[in-house]
Amino acid sequence: MDVDVLISFIIATSVLAIAPGPDVIYVLMQSITNGKSFGIATACGLVSGCLVHTTLVAFGVSAIIKASDTIFFIIKFLGAIYLIYLAFKVYKSDANVLLTQENVPEKTWSQLYKQGFIMNVLNPKVSIFFLAFFPGFLFSDSLRTVYQFYILGFIFIGVSFLVFVTIAILGGSISTYLKQHKGIGHILKWMQVVVFIGIAFFILFSEK
- Give the mean model confidence (pLDDT) for residues 145-150: 92
Interatomic CA distance for residues 28 and 166, integer angstroms:
10
Q: Which of 106-110, 121-125, 204-208 has the lowest mean pLDDT?
A: 204-208
Whether 131 shows a pLDDT value over 90: the answer reads no
Residue 203 contacts residue 79 (beta carbons within 8 Å) = yes
pLDDT for position 150: 95
Q: Which of 39-48, 62-71, 126-135, 190-199 has the lowest mean pLDDT?
A: 62-71
The C-alpha angle with vertex 175 and arms to 88 and 163, in degrees rounded to 5, equals: 65
Helix (H, G, I), strand (E, B) or coil at 96: coil
Mean pLDDT (whole number) for 32-61: 89
**Comparing 54-58, 105-109, 164-168, which segment has the lowest mean pLDDT?**
105-109
Q: How far is 28 from 173, CA to CA, in rounded Å?
A: 10
Q: Who has greater pLDDT, 205 or 48?
A: 48
13-34 average pLDDT score? 82
Closest to 119 (Cα-Cα) out of 15, 12, 25, 188: 25
Please choose, from the candidates 192, 202, 203, the residue with its C-alpha nearest in 3D space to the C-alpha of residue 14: 192
**pLDDT for the residue 104:** 54
Query: Average pLDDT, whole number, for the chain?
Result: 83
Single out the residue of 37, 25, 13, 10 nearest to residue 174, CA to CA.
25
50: three-class secondary structure by DSSP: helix
